[in-house]
Structure 1
Amino acid sequence: MSDDLERGPYVRLGRSATLVSRLWLGTVNFSGRVEDADAMRLMDEALDRGINCVDTADIYGWRVHKGHTEELVGRWLARSGVRREDVLLATKVGEEMSERLNDGGLSARHIVAACERSLRRLNVDHVDLYQMHRVDRAAPWDEIWQAMDQLVAAGKVSYVGSSNFAGWNIAAAQECAARRQSFGLVSEQCLYNLAVRHADLEVLPAAGAYGLGVFAWSPLHGGLLSGALRKLAAGTAVKSAQGRAQQLLPGMRSAVEAYERFCGRIGEDPAEVGLAWVLSRPGISGAVIGPRTTEQLDSALRARELVLGEAELAELDAIFPAVGSGGRAPEAWTT
């Protein structure tokens, strides 16, 4: 396939040769906020619209039971043998799965055992992207790569990724992988949006230096950037009235008000503006979206086509300033 695709809805998965959609279907809202039948339909619709990555985690579904979402995705994949070939399947390891000793973290023992359990729940023989859900400061990198290399060699994992890493964690992981002559990390998932831009400082530069694709999770900060104030006033807020959005709103109300006025003035939906901004950022390969309805999925796909002009981007920077003086560390705080 031509690299021209990288200017369209697909990009390379980091420095690998695999193509992945810029929008990933995140499943964190399944199994509790989205009924199973609706989740099945959303996965169908996402795949039909060109989204080829389904991103989950072993802990997802905790509102029902941990692992429930992987089971749900497994049932969806089993509907068609061809579907598995069309999907880049991503899951995660590292969160505590039970109160049992060693049933969490990134020990070699847990990584291998957790992967086997994820494969059974997903009803597949391999996952395309196996991501460390968080840093485990107790686990040496040699131990982590020993387990990951074992899974890759066995054909149970194609690529390894990270999530919620600091820039120096990415560097440490890649340097250790290089010493072992391993491919290392291919991607990083990080929290990144207009309201939370810390990744600009070190995560994005580190990922770029080591050839990782970066996919932003919570690109609308849990609904904060999807028209939260308008929805609260109308009594239609769901995610924007809870979680991360609720925590950040009191201190950012004036900025969110200005943001919603800006979106109204340019005649665009706040959710689509917020996602379009993330997709426009240097160093960002794509975003993980978590739609609960077909309408939200359609909105995300429209955002992929929305182009913000230089003046509009500058106004958004004024509403939601970058960390420090902007750009990467250390210049962001020394100039």
Structure 2
Amino acid sequence: MKYTRLGRSGATVSRIALGTMNFGPVIGREPSYEILDLALENGITFVDTADVYGGGPWGDNAGQSEALLGDWMRDRGVRDQLVVATKVQGPMGEGPNDRGLSAVHIRAGVDASLKRLGTDRIDLMQMHHIERTVPVDEVLDAFTTLREQGKIVYLGSSNFAGWNLAQYQEQALASRRMPLVTEQSVYNLAQRTIELEVVPAALNYGLGLLPWSPLASGQLGGVLQKADRSRSKDLDLGDRRPQIEEYERYAATLGLDPAELALAWLLHQPVVTAPVVGPRTAAQLTGAIAALDIGLGADELAELDRIWPGPGGQAPEAYAW
């Protein structure tokens, strides 16, 4: 396993983060334990979850992922070997304060996550989405108080725009409130919009990027080669089909699995701390770990840029002079 700093913090994390969104509602306890055991055996120390994982649109059964992770940490006695990340903001019930980033919900949400996880602190507490209706100072005050109480260690954001990162970071640094150390965004070869402003903002503030959906919901995972010939023509891949076909052919010329190549590309991006992978099987996790050993040179990176062109750099040069 390879390790790096957690964004601008002093904490060390594995370069692969194990995402647990599938734990509970998609895969049961036994396969979840198998994946968690395999992750730890291979040196993965960074585990990402969220309070809403496992829940329905109104928070029904929300918290399953956190509770399962908490049970596993207790059963294995491994809490102190891990950097545990979770999130708050999504709906956890039907009440008016059962969602969002009000100080009321943040403090209640953190306490509930601590209980489900069976731990005394959350290493990385992330805002699951930007909340435009709550003053930034209220949000930062709530998290700063929780840090002072020892309930959270670091603060991260998720699904923030570039200007939101600047907004939060400038207020935090000017007022000595809790600053951000990471941003978790959708980022993969097929979805590179954040290169316009989020990536430059993260680099400027020293924030580590945690890409979610690193395989574009499976489309970069060898979807065509895994389907039998009779079914591959019927797969609904939209406008991306020609690129996916070319991408899978290029991966084959390199002798690489498409999923491993997609993760390797992310690992070569300077802003990326760790892709958040969400395996449903132990084999998928093994493949993700293998990506750490793939070296991509300038020619390979240029060819991937040709197949999957980004927005053309950062704003405004990407679309103006």
Cα separation, partners in 2 of 1:149 and 1:235, compared to 1, 3 Å: farther
Task: Provide, for residues 79-104 of structure 1, a one-character-per-residue CA deviation record: whole Å limited to 9, x for no partner.
Answer: 133x1110001100001112111110
Tell me which of 32, 38, 63 is aligned to 2:25: 32
Q: Does 1:334 align with 2:312?
A: no
State the 1:236 CA deviation.
9.2
Counterparts of 1:116-195 in structure 2, within 5 Å, are 116-195=111-190
Normalised by the size of structure 2, how large is the TM-score?
Answer: 0.95
State the 1:265 CA deviation.
1.5
Task: Provide, for residues 240-295 of structure 1, a one-character-per-residue CA deviation record: whole Å limited to 9, x for no partner.
Answer: x7xxxx6xx21111111110111111211100111101111121122000111111
1-structure distance, mates of 2:230, 2:212? 26
SS of the aligned residue for 1:302 comes to: helix
State the 1:74 CA deviation.
0.8
Query: In structure 1, what is the equivalent of residue 278 of structure 2?
Result: 290
Q: Does 1:210 align with 2:205?
A: yes
Contiguous gaps of at least 5 residues in structure 1: 1-7
Query: In structure 1, what is the equivalent of residue 76 of structure 2?
Result: 80
Tell me which of 84, 96, 99 is aligned to 2:91: 96
Q: Does 1:196 align with 2:221?
A: no
Aligned length: 316
SS of the aligned residue for 1:331 comes to: coil
Q: In the alignment, residue 262 of structure 1 is paired with which amino acid?
A: Y
Larger displacement relative to structure 2 (278-287 or 113-122):
278-287
Normalised by the size of structure 1, how large is the TM-score?
Answer: 0.91
SS of the aligned residue for 1:268 comes to: coil
SS of the aligned residue for 2:86 comes to: strand
CA contact (8 A) 2:140 2:178 kept: no
Identical-pair percentage: 47
Contiguous gaps of at least 5 residues in structure 2: none
Query: In structure 2, what is the equivalent of residue 3 of structure 1?
Result: none
Q: Does 1:12 align with 2:5?
A: yes
Query: In structure 2, what is the equivalent of residue 264 of structure 1?
Result: 252
Q: In the alignment, residue 165 of structure 2 is paired with which amino acid?
A: I
Larger displacement relative to structure 2 (150-159 or 256-265):
256-265
Larger displacement relative to structure 2 (153-162 or 64-73):
64-73
1-structure distance, mates of 2:169, 2:137? 11
CA contact (8 A) 2:21 2:54 kept: yes
2-structure distance, mates of 1:236, 1:46? 33
CA contact (8 A) 2:215 2:263 kept: yes
Task: Provide, for residues 57-88 of structure 1, a one-character-per-residue CA deviation record: whole Å limited to 9, x for no partner.
Answer: 0000126710111110110111133x111000
Q: Does 1:69 align with 2:76?
A: no
1-structure distance, mates of 2:82, 2:302? 37
1-structure distance, mates of 2:296, 2:12? 25
State the 1:16 CA deviation.
1.1
Cα separation, partners in 2 of 1:288 and 1:67, compared to 1, 3 Å: same
State the 1:312 CA deviation.
1.5
Cα separation, partners in 2 of 1:41 and 1:177, compared to 1, 3 Å: same
Runs of 4+ in structure 1 off by over 6 angstroms are none
2-structure distance, mates of 1:288, 1:9? 15
Alpha carbon RMSD of aligned pairs, Å? Answer: 1.6
